[in-house]
Chain A
C-alpha cells in the first residue's frame, strides 16, 4: 500500500504549563520524581480551543498551499470530539470548505488512532476509493484531567496534527499488525457528559473526567506492544538495527525506556520528543513524523516502524519504507 505524506500541519495548545505551574497548583507533588519517570517538563493545554478548532488550525496550515478541491477523503482521529454527534470530520468539512462529496468520518481512537487511520487510508487508496486524503488527529485531554491527578496531569497535552497524502511510492506500507483488547477498555476512559461548544469557548468547567489505571495500562503496553513489533520484524526478517527510526506513541518516559530495553532498540533509533510536547494522544506519532521531516532525517530507503497503543485498549504497528523525501 503506497501512501506518501505531502505536507504536515501541527496546532499546539496555546497555554504552556510548566513543572513550576504544576507545583504551584499541587504543592505536595514531587515534580522531580514525576518528571524523572514521565519525561515531560512542559505541557500544552488549550482551555478555550476545542478539538474541532485545533483541527481546523492544523489543517488550514497545509491547505493554504494545496488544492483543497482535490481532497476527496477526510478522516478525523479523536477521542475528545466536541459533540457526541456530529463528528469532528463532518464539522471540519464545512469549516475547511471542502467539497461535499468528500468521504468523511471520525475514528474514535486515541493513541493508536493515527496508525489505524493511516493503514485504513492505505487500503482505501489501494482500492481506488480515494486519491487525495486528509487525515487530522486532534485531542484536548487536559480540560478533562483533575488538577490533582498525579498520574495524568503531568503528561498530557493538547494538539492537532493534519496530514495530506498522495498515493505514490514516496512511502510504502510494507507490513502491519493491529489488535484490540476491549476487556481493558475501562482502564482508560473519558466518562461523563461532553461540554457544549460554547462552554468550551468560555473556558467553562466540564462534567467529564479522564480515568486511567496507570498500572493496568502499563502492563497492557508491556504485554502487547513488544509482541506486535516483534511479529512485524520477524515476518520481514528484520532486526531492530535495520529500522531507521522507531516511532512509538510518546506515552511517557517510563514506557519508552521499557520498550527500548525490551526490544533492544539502539538509542539513536528510538525517536523521542516527549520533553517538548508531552503526550498529545493521537497526535504524538504525526508530530514525531513532522519533526523527522523538518529535520531532514528521512532518507530514501529508510525503514520506519510506527506503533501506537492505548485507548481501547488497542494497538497498531506499521512498517513503512520511505521512497523519497516528503
Chain B
C-alpha cells in the first residue's frame, strides 16, 4: 500500500518523499536565486568613473567669481587655470557658505584658500564647501581679476537638464528618471542647473544654464529636469565652462519612443 504522506509543520518526523521533493525543489530555487542575482547585476548600464572624495578635504587656492554662478578660478600652471564650481553641503548651493565667510562684503574678485570636498569627472571640477565653513578658509585679499567671456551666438541643443553636483561625482546614475527627484531637490536648493548633450561618438558637452540676462535660474527650470529636451539660447564661452542663456518657457520636451524594439 502506498504510504499516505501528510506534512505537519510542528511534528518532529516528516514524510520522506515530501522532504526529498522539497530538497530537490529548494536546490533548484537556490540556483535560480543565484542566477537572478547574476542577471540583474549584469543588466545594469555601465557606471561613469566620476569621483566624489567623500571624507577627504583638499585645499584649493584661487580667486572667487560670482557670475554666472559662484566658482573659484585656480591657477594650475603658467597659462593654465581651472574654474572650480562651488557647491554647498547636501542638496544646496554655495551661497549660504559664502555669505557666512564674507558677511556683507562682496566675494567677487576675492582671493581665498578654501578647504572642501572635490567632485570631478570629464574635465569638470567642483568643490563642496563644508556644512560649517568656519576654519575651512583663509582670506587672501582682493584682486583685480577680470572675467573675459566670449559670446558665441545662438545655438540649438538636444539633451537633458541635470544637477552638476550629483552628475559629476556624488551619485550614480545622476540623470534620467531615477535621479529626477534628487536633481530637483538640488537645483531648487541653489545648485546651478547644467545642460548635458551627447553626440554619436558618446562625447558629452556641458553648459551652465542661466536666464536670458545671464542671471541664475533654479525653480523656473524644475519642470524640465531629468527629461530629454531641446533648448535654444545664446552660447557664451566662459573659458573653462560653457554657458547657455535661455528663456525656460522655450524649452521643448522631447517625447521620444523607446529605442529598444
Physical interaction between A and B: no
Binding site for A on B (CB under 8 A): none
